[in-house]
Structure 1
Amino acid sequence: MTWEAVRLEWDGDVATLTVDRPDALNALNVETLEAMNEALAAAANDGARALVLTGAGESFIAGADIKYMQSLSPEEGQEWGELGHSVADALEAFPAPTVAAVNGYAFGGGCEMALACDLRVGAESALIGNTEIDLGIIPGWGATQRLPRLVGDETARRMIFLGERLDAETAEREGLFGEVVPDDELDARVAELAGQLAAKPAFAVRAAKQSINQHHEGPLAAGLAYEKRAFASLFGSHDQREGMAAFIEDREADFE
């Protein structure tokens, strides 16, 4: 299968899913999210023993398509949220370990895709954050639930309330990145790590992943359901319209 906005490539038992919209800093639109879902299903069906998620060019995933989101109604916002959640959930439930190779920007929805992976390796130049608050919305693809589990309550609240962007060193210190490497060593290090994961006994690794995920499954499912409703409810509000218009027009937002 081939897609316009993503690439699925193989190196032995390791599949690499690359978001390939470098001119848009790999921002996620409907077509890209749908392609990611298809690619993840294909990788799982073809027996990937490890999966790498990364972005083409100088950005991991800079966020979601704000021009598309700007005019959504609450009902359409719910559909958009559900689509993003479906990809993040597919990453979290993928039957083999997943590694986010975070090169460059990982904001908003891009941060949420990294959060849904099992492991995260950051390039030294990486910047990561949940920046939705400045658009008049909240994270809608899982960050309100997954981020506190990684970095703790205080750091998660600061990142979400203030839209703080963390550099790679800070992200590693806070537990968001497992390790940080020089930019020109990211691909090699992630390939090495993915190869190590793929070499482990597949059924045991799958059981370990399912057991770890089970620890969060009940409360996480309830929290994710609440997040979906809250995210959708903000579409059509003055602050959502103004925040996204200000972003597109490159000006300060005038929130209520």
Structure 2
Amino acid sequence: NRPEAMNSLNTATITELSATIDELEKQPDVKVIIITGTGDRAFIAGGDIALLRTFTPIQARDLSIVVGKLFQQIETSPCVVIAAINGYALGGGCELALACDLRLAAEHAQLGQPEVNLGIIPGWGGTQRLSRLIGSSRAKELMFTGERVTAQRALEIGLIDHVYPDDQLLNYTQTLAQTIASKPQTAIQMIKTAVNNGMAMDKEKAIQYEADLFGLCFTTADQKEGMDAFFEKRPAVWKDE
């Protein structure tokens, strides 16, 4: 919520965002979190360069660790987190979007990792999450050149999931959020856990991990309700337990 600064991230906004996510996660009726930028120009235009240019090496590393914890909080949240990219998502803004579960963008949005143009590298998870999402070669090209890509190109390379007309982005995002929120959250959370944790394992271990979580599903009330409802030809009434 810093439209005058293109919603760039500084220490105050990082702290505020982390606290907001903490608070939302404590509310049992909150199942999906949507992150978007204030105004129509930027989702998050990156880190606050005016602040960063004053940093010592130790300060830069320490901020990277702090931001890394925020993005890890987003990535591992029990809620599904959707980035509604309503404008520029550059540098740290793109890195925040990468930490979200899903990324939807307005047609005029632009994404990129332009840190090389400042003589630095993406330091808030970008070198790792971007490579895992779109492949190392395409990720390197984006980071080597520092070029921005349009929303349509981002969709083509798998950087985002959907593109919508600018004035319809939030409506479509909310519709998707409502669809996800209507599902049994025990299963949703296990899906998120299986995918996220499995990505850090070799395939054999990841498949075994999936089997373990599949078995755990059969300890839940939602598994019984879902299968009973299927055979009784009625809508399931989820208990999220």
C-alpha distance in structure 1 between counterparts of 2:198 and 2:157, whole Å: 21
Once the two structures are aligned, what percentage of the paired residues are identical?
A: 40
2:183 is the alignment partner of 1:196: no
Task: Note the aligned Cα RMSD (angstroms).
Answer: 1.1
Tell me what 2:89 maps to: 106
CA-to-partner distance for each residue in 1:110-158, whole Å, 9 max, x for gaps?
0000000010001000000011111111111111111011111111001
Tell me what 1:117 maps to: 100
2:10 is the alignment partner of 1:29: yes
C-alpha distance in structure 2 between counterparts of 1:77 and 1:24, whole Å: 20
When the two structures are superposed, what TM-score results if normalisation uses the length of structure 1? 0.76
2:84 is the alignment partner of 1:84: no
Q: Secondary structure at the match of 2:160?
A: coil
CA-to-partner distance for each residue in 1:46-94, whole Å, 9 max, x for gaps?
1321111100002100000001110211111111101211111111011
Single out whichever of 120-129 and 75-84 deviates more from structure 2. Answer: 75-84
> Which is bigger in relative contact order (C-alpha 8 A, separation at least 6)?
1
2:54 is the alignment partner of 1:54: no
Counterpart pick for 1:38 among 19, 41, 52:
19
Segments of structure 1 that go 5 or more residues without pairing to the other structure are: 1-19, 220-256
Letter in 1 for 2:188: V
Tell me what 1:148 maps to: 131
When the two structures are superposed, what TM-score results if normalisation uses the length of structure 2? 0.81
Letter in 2 for 1:55: G
C-alpha distance in structure 1 between counterparts of 2:62 and 2:15, whole Å: 13
Q: How many residues align?
A: 200
C-alpha distance in structure 1 between counterparts of 2:194 and 2:11, whole Å: 32
C-alpha distance in structure 1 between counterparts of 2:133 and 2:67, whole Å: 20
C-alpha distance in structure 1 between counterparts of 2:86 and 2:168, whole Å: 11
C-alpha distance in structure 1 between counterparts of 2:108 and 2:193, whole Å: 32
Tell me what 1:241 maps to: none
Tell me what 1:216 maps to: 199
Letter in 1 for 2:172: R
Tell me what 2:119 maps to: 136
Segments of structure 2 that go 5 or more residues without pairing to the other structure are: 203-241
C-alpha distance in structure 2 between counterparts of 1:213 and 1:193, whole Å: 20
Off by >6 Å, runs of 4+ in structure 1? none
Q: CA deviation at 1:106?
A: 0.3
Higher Rg = 2
Letter in 1 for 2:10: N
C-alpha distance in structure 2 between counterparts of 1:218 and 1:39, whole Å: 31
- CA, structure 1 residues 35+218, in 2 after alignment: closer, same or farther (shift >3 Å)? farther
Q: CA deviation at 1:218?
A: 6.0
Letter in 2 for 1:34: T
Tell me what 1:170 maps to: 153
